[in-house]
């Protein structure tokens, strides 16, 4: 894999561990951190690196190499730990700091501290977030309903010159491209014989699982 980005997940509860494992399965190097040794040991064989310490400990975070990470996901259920970890990551100038918010108040607080993205586990699945984080093509993800989502993607270079009939994503993934937007116009619905051009955006509708499979296999 050309992309050698480094990721860390602070807090290995249900969401944090699911997120870390999802990234690891995609082939990325992941550091998982939790202060509970039992929790850390339970997924130690599934991650590249596991460390046990309190994420409020600035020295421990530096020793773990957090400052060198491309992105850190803070998934602690403890408000104080989450806020402190977010502040320390911001001080270390981590490029992307993603925090799983406990509630709206928590979300506002971490945004002010320096979080670059705030998520809610009830709204953003770990697998979906992992895909969004590592994909250079995904630019947006709209939740219409629990079973229906719309994904907006930038068409990668390998598809330039091809059209919807040639790629046949509808049959292969059970998803539908509902619109294509280029530099001049938005095509709704898109003509099946339109050849993709550089910078084109496509809007795809489908189930969360179908879209995840589609993005993983075709765009990552």
Q: Give domain 6-131's CATH architecture.
A: 3-Layer(aba) Sandwich (3.40)
**Cα separation of 53 and 88, whole Å?**
15
Of these ranges, 4-13, 46-55, 117-126, the one predicted with the greatest mean pLDDT is 46-55
Provide the token pair at 27.
């082939």
Sheet holding 71-74, edge to edge: 49-52, 29-34, 6-10, 71-74, 96-100, 117-119
pLDDT band at 91 (very low <50, low <70, confident <90, very high): very high
Backbone angles phi, psi at 146, to 5 degrees: -55, -35
pLDDT digits (tens, 9 = 90+) for 54-64: 999 999 999 99
Q: For the chain, what percent of residues have pLDDT higher than 70?
A: 85
pLDDT at 214: 86
C-alpha radius of gyration, the chain, whole number: 19
Quick one: how far is CA 83 from the chain centroid? 20
Q: How many whole angstroms separate alpha carbon 99 and alpha carbon 72?
A: 8
Give CATH superfamily name and number for 136-218.
Answer: Regulator of K+ conductance, C-terminal domain (3.30.70.1450)
More confident residue, 119 or 16: 16
What letter does residue 154 receive in the DSSP assignment?
A: E
CA separation for the pair 141, 131 (Å, rounded): 11
Answer whether 6-131 and 136-218 agree in fold: no
Angstrom distance (rounded) from CA 80 to CA 87: 11
Sequence ranges of the domains in the chain: 6-131, 136-218
pLDDT band at 118 (very low <50, low <70, confident <90, very high): confident
**Per-residue tokens: 69:** 């990470």
Q: Beta partners for 179?
A: 203
Residue range 178-214, pLDDT digits in tens:
889 998 888 988 999 999 999 899 988 888 778 878 8
Q: Residues 124-169: pLDDT tens digits? A: 555 556 666 655 555 555 554 556 777 888 888 889 999 999 999 9
Q: Pairing state of beta strands 49-52 and 71-74? A: unpaired
pLDDT (tens digit per residue) in 59-88: 999 999 999 999 999 999 899 999 999 999
Strands 29-34 and 49-52: parallel
Name the helix (H) or strand (E) containing 145. Answer: strand 138-145
Residue 27 near residue 1, CB atoms below 8 Å: yes
């Amino acid at each position: 894999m050309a992309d050698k980005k480094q990721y860390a997940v602070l807090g290995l509860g249900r969401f944090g561990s699911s997120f870390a494992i999802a990234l690891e399965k995609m082939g990325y190097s992941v550091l998982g951190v939790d202060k509970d040794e039992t929790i850390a040991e339970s997924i130690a064989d599934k991650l590249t690196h596991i460390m046990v310490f309190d994420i409020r400990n600035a020295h421990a975070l530096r020793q773990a190499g957090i400052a060198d990470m491309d992105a850190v996901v803070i998934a602690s259920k403890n408000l104080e730990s989450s806020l402190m970890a977010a502040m320390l990551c911001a001080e270390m100038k981590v490029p992307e700091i993603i925090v799983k918010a406990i509630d709206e108040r928590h979300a506002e607080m971490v945004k002010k501290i320096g979080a670059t993205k705030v998520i809610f586990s009830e709204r953003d699945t770990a697998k979906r977030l992992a895909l969004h984080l590592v994909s250079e093509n995904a630019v947006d993800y709209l939740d219409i309903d629990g079973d229906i989502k719309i994904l907006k993607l930038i068409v990668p270079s390998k598809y330039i010159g091809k059209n919807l009939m040639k790629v046949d994503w509808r049959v292969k993934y059970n998803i539908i491209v509902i619109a294509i937007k280029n530099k001049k116009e938005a095509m709704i619905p898109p003509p099946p014989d339109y050849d993709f051009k550089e910078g084109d955006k496509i809007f795809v509708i489908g189930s969360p699982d179908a879209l995840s499979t589609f993005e993983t296999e075709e765009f990552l």
